[in-house]
Amino acid sequence: QVQLVESGGGLVQAGGSLRLSCAVSGTIGDINTMAWFRQAPGKQREWVASLTDDGSTNYADSVKGRFTISRDNAKNTVNLQMISLKPEDTAVYYCYVYANIRNYWGQGTQVTVSS
């Protein structure tokens, strides 16, 4: 059974940094896309960043220049390095993987940025 488990969330002051990790386990096959989404209270889930199998990365305008998505193939993890955090970055962050025409989601990790 495929599992995505996020870690690294927490409480940080504005301007601070956090690094999220998502460990992928189970037989998932060839991964096409790994990504991070987030959902703030009262808002819809939104895409934050993605990394495709050719190494291409893309970022939402709101995080461009502050967030970096990366993949560790040896550990089968996808990471999100976040710097210069803002209160509006507060949300539950979800790991997402698209592999073999299937969508996989993690359970989410809370990130809270205080002003």
Q: Do the Cβ atoms of 15 and 114 come closer than 8 Å?
A: no
Beta carbons of 54 and 42 less than 8 angstroms apart: no
pLDDT digits (tens, 9 = 90+) for 19-37: 999 999 988 888 899 999 9
pLDDT band at 73 (very low <50, low <70, confident <90, very high): confident
**61: three-class secondary structure by DSSP:** coil
**pLDDT > 70: percent of the chain:** 100
Confidence of residue 74 (pLDDT cuts 50, 70, 90): confident
Is 113 a residue whose pLDDT tops 90? yes
